[in-house]
Homo-oligomer: A and B are copies of this chain.
């Protein structure tokens, strides 16, 4: 019997679309690497991995798969957490790694267009000399196409927004192979009322509606002055009360991140920081020289009122970089706390006033299980994460951490929040999506999915069944 690889490879090669044998593979190593992401979900391998070189090839792949009802799973950096890259129904993994060009930067318009595999760190490295930057910064060095797919955000969202607010246009290959731009063939206006907002439909659709090949992104000016500080508190509640106070004082803070005492402990060990093991806020202020001073004065007085310690400053670029590198490495720092474990990480987001309550109850739940777990978060948005270590050889260990995550998500939904602020639904949160949105709403989502992908070839079994 002809394998999917043979059929795939011969068909597409015959039509001249995939020109090299290397571009289609069913090498076991490739399959295994492409069947998972960084989350705790089981590996589920595709049957074939293809490495298209341009959008026309993706179009040909999708036409073929649509005709033959073959599942298609797009693959970016593989840094997702909810199983978005796995292939539980087999099929073709489309590895986007060749889409690595920064196509255009228009400094005068504060925007750029990149191919899907460009990572946010690579983009910022490229932009640095032009006084510009792209602010969305998830923990891993994710690809910008993947970040569009999962509606990623990060530490700067409180000030600069998430992917939703920073994508101006997308090039997408639809299930039937048609290639569209979501916001006009040449469009990069900062605002538009022309037709349905397809850009923000594809942002967050997790590869289920089309394959993103290019993104046009908003850029921002690197501020004149950036200062970071660390302040510590006696309890998680005092720290989050301080966050609420800073926001209520309308401080245009650039970043405000929470780490609980165990996260600090993990950071000290992994990233060689030297902080007391206490509830901690990392703050960043940006703007003009005097603007920053003013913001700091207000933030300090709010922190004082909530029993915060003196601010520890990180003013030089090196000190700032060290601090934020440690923050971005929290996932790895947590993992390093117990060898031979795996890390289950999940995120929720609630209105800011419910944050202290949810944070306290979650920490209590973690303590009760006796497992090691850290709590960190983009608290300025009401968004936080738990990272829980489990024994991959003990199903009851995974069951425990999963139960903590589910309880946290259900409580977040109850507190007017969402079961995921930035990780997405993937395979892991389909039931929670239903709980949060209700059946009628999810069935509207499914109607849209069916309209754009009637054969359900695009990343099937993700987001909903």
Contacts and interface: CB of A to CB of B under 8 A. Distances in A.
A381 B190 contact: yes
Interface in A224-259: 224, 244, 247-250, 252
A437 B351 contact: no
Contacts of A381: 189-191
Nearest to A447: B451
A422 B351 CA distance: 29
A186 interface: yes
A165 B161 contact: yes
A442 to B, nearest CB: 7
A117 interface: no
B437 A181 contact: yes
A55 B182 CA distance: 32
B191 A153 contact: yes
Interface string A416-427: 111111111100
A445 interface: yes
Interface in A82-123: 106-111
A178 B417 CA distance: 23
Contact of A193 (B151, B189, B413): B151
Contact of A350 (B179, B189, B425): B189
Contacts of A4: none
B191 A196 contact: no
B108 A248 contact: yes
A150 interface: yes
A349 B196 contact: no
Interface string A429-450: 1001100111011101101111
Given A288-B294, A294-B291, A425-B195, A436 B187 contact: yes
A290 interface: yes
Contacts of A196: 201, 204-205, 209, 445, 448-449, 463
The quantity of this chain's copies bound in the complex is 2
A157 interface: yes
A174 interface: yes
Given A195-B463, A201-B201, A448-B196, A189 B247 contact: no
Nearest to A354: B109
A187 B151 CA distance: 17
Nearest to A210: B444
Contacts of A416: 184, 186-189
Contacts of A200: 164, 197, 200-201
A252 B159 CA distance: 12
A118 B420 CA distance: 31
Nearest to A164: B197
Nearest to A151: B193
Contacts of A187: 413, 416-418, 436-437
B106 A195 contact: no
A105 to B, nearest CB: 12
A455 B447 CA distance: 14
Given A185-B438, A186-B413, A425 B194 contact: yes
> Can you list the 7 inter-chain pairs with the closest CB atoms, starting with the nearest?
A451-B451, A221-B250, A200-B200, A109-B351, A192-B418, A189-B349, A180-B441
Given A184-B418, A193-B418, 6 more contacts: A107-B248, A184-B413, A186-B414, A190-B383, A193-B422, A291-B294
